Amino acid sequence: MLKMKRVSQTYDMKVFTDTGDYFGDVEESILTATKVFGWRVRATKSSFLNKVLGSAKGVIVPHQLVKSIGDIMIISKAAVPSYSQEDDEEPEAS
């Protein structure tokens, strides 16, 4: 059975990727006249998004990348900005 939610019920909802990484919290929805265009996700201290973005406060996730909304929101891993562990390491002096 399909359950409906109000957009206001999604605020502060936890967002996870489809691989299980904690992504952040929903801060705002971006609406057009007839549909949801995207979601502004806030980077929290313990989120993967905070590690990737550094000083930025969050990202906008297009609604097409949202897989499920229930008690939590699940998004596609494609929404995650590219990141590698090598970005954290300082380059070695030669």
Whole-prediction pTM: 0.77
Length of the chain measured in residues: 94
The fold adopted by the segment(s) 9-78 is SH3 type barrels. (2.30.30)
User: How do the domains of the chain map onto residue ranges?
Assistant: 9-78
Alpha helices in 1-94 (DSSP H): 48-53
pLDDT value for 54 = 75
Residue-wise pLDDT for 7-52, tens only, equals: 888 899 999 999 998 999 999 999 999 898 999 999 888 888 888 7
- Torsion sign across C-alpha atoms 65, 33, 71, 80: positive
